[in-house]
Amino acid sequence: MIAVMPRYSEERKAAVLNKLLPPQNRSVVSVAAEEGISDVTLHSWLKQCQTLLNKSQPCRHFGSGSGFPVWCG
């Protein structure tokens, strides 16, 4: 049997990332438990966000046009 990985909407990713970034600064472990998303997935999303930050851009991948603005910094 093949495991199917869940897909998350950009809006859901933005809402979850907002919990991990300032001003909330919650831990990955607590947000993962609350949201039912693996901590590995959350670390991956944060890494993507950090990559965009290093390019001096907002995290447009998460939240663009969704009403959930997310900035990595």
Q: Is residue 40 part of a domain?
A: yes
41 in any annotated domain? yes
Quote the pLDDT of residue 58. 53
* Position 64 in a domain: no
Q: How far is CA 16 from CA 23, 50, 52, 68, 71, in A?
A: 13, 15, 17, 10, 13
Structural domain includes residue 23: yes
Q: Could you read off the pLDDT of 15-57 as tens digits, one per residue? A: 999 999 888 989 999 999 999 999 999 999 998 887 776 765 5
Residue 47 lies in a domain: yes
Token pair of 9 as six digits:
């909407």
Say if residue 25 is exposed, middle or buried (CB neighbours under 10 Å; 0-12, 13-18, 19+): exposed
Domain presence at residue 5: no
Q: 51-69, pLDDT tens digit by residue?
A: 776 765 555 445 444 444 5
pLDDT of residue 66: 42
Nearest to 52 by CA among 43, 62, 42: 62
Would you place residue 5 in the very low, low, confident or very high pLDDT band (cuts 50, 70, 90)? confident
In a domain, 66, yes or no: no
- Asked whether residue 72 is domain-assigned, the answer is no
The pLDDT of residue 10: 86
Number of domain units in the chain: 1
